[in-house]
Amino acid sequence: MEIRPFTIAVPQPDLDDLKDRLARTRWPDELPDVGWTRGVPLEPLRELAAYWGEGYDWRAAEAGLNALPQFTTDLDGQRIHFAHVRSERPDALPLMLTHGYPSAFAEFTQLIELLRRDFHLVVPSLPGFGFSTPVRQSGWALGRTARAWAELMRRLGYDRYGVHGGDVGAGVSGAVAGLDGEHVAGVHVVTDPVTAAATATFLPGMAERLDPADPVDRLALDRMAEFRTADSGYLAIQNSRPQTMGYLLNDSPAGQLGWILESFERWTDLPYDRDQFLTIVSLYWFTGSGVSAARFLYEQAHSTDWGAPPAVPQGYSVFGADPTVRRLLEPAPGTYWAEHERGRHFPAMEDPESLAADLRAFFADLK
């Protein structure tokens, strides 16, 4: 039951080791003129690695994160790290923000500043991510995490609260709403065409109910096919052999950097802050959580515990919107639905203002 104050304090030898490893990276060659078609190109990664080692200021990022009140507590035998930012308004609605993969609680720093007047914010690190480590037991997937999240909100004294997330965080948030509907005011998630296509790819029978002769359905099927051929490689590895991949992620900062950079470059279409991105990568590196984060995806891929469907008000914010998203997700009547032409998988970094406005609008009548 204990909630312990937490301060990030990366030892200086760890910073020195990162700089040394980056400087000694053994870079591969590459084929000419293939661009991003075969993965992260050499020069962009070398330039970013050089900046990470020589220009990026971790101590400034660390101080910025430590400006957020942070804590740890034990839930179901697992240490869980979270930020807890209380509004000055006593009637503010508590709101839990859950990140996805490959990300961290630091994804929400801009969003926190935009929302901290309107909500009491609870921002946990998923089990196996960042400072919610080490993981000593198997079985940490959506359902178990949702039960831990509901207990965390109870432990903090919140009887009524909202939940929000994207990617894995959307699944966890939906599971929390299904599990703890008596206390959850509403669940809001973000998505985009690629995420919707990825979700549909894993739903039994989805392809069969789409009509190739219909233009929207045809586009949805094309997006599902593109995900299977161009975007699902990381899932194939982490859903089957996360421990093997973990040796690379834990030993090579350039490898960890490239692994995360590919997702950000493929799944964004608006500029995001380079230093904030490197803060996320640094959290993976300094906590050695590349392998345990990968194992979270393995656990879910081999789990039947997806939680109950939510029976509370639901809201979607679609970034990079096109007609395929509504067709694939089929929102129920009365669902809050907001579409944004730009932004994609990481809207808390790409377009935090629009996301904050949607969250205020969705939860305005649910307090």
DSSP state of 272: -
Tokens matching residue 339: 């579409």
Q: Which of the residues in the chain have pLDDT under 70? A: none
SS3 3: strand
DSSP state of 31: -
Q: Which residues contact 349 (CB under 8 A, 6 or more apart)?
A: 107, 110, 268, 272, 273, 276, 277
Tokens matching residue 155: 């432990």
DSSP state of 99: -
- pTM of the full predicted structure? 0.97
CA dist., res. 340 & res. 325, Å (int): 12
**Long-range contact list for 49-55, CB < 8 A, 24+ apart?**
49/22, 49/25, 49/253, 49/254, 49/257, 50/22, 51/274, 51/278, 52/18, 52/22, 52/253, 52/257, 52/278, 52/281, 52/282, 53/18, 53/19, 53/22, 53/23, 54/19
Task: Locate the domains of the chain by residue range.
Answer: 58-363
pLDDT per residue over 98-127, tens digit each? 999 999 999 999 999 999 999 999 999 999
CA dist., res. 91 & res. 238, Å (int): 43
The CATH number fitting domain 58-363, selected from 3.40.50.150, 3.90.650.10, 3.40.50.1820, 3.40.1010.20: 3.40.50.1820
**Long-range contact list for 335-340, CB < 8 A, 24+ apart?**
336/188, 336/361, 336/362
pLDDT of residue 360: 98
Tokens matching residue 287: 């906590």
pLDDT of residue 306: 77
CA dist., res. 43 & res. 46, Å (int): 5
pLDDT of residue 326: 95
Tokens matching residue 256: 């960890």
Residue pair 85/261 in contact by the 8 Å Cβ criterion: no
CA dist., res. 315 & res. 339, Å (int): 11
DSSP state of 107: G
pLDDT of residue 204: 75
pLDDT of residue 341: 97
DSSP state of 158: -
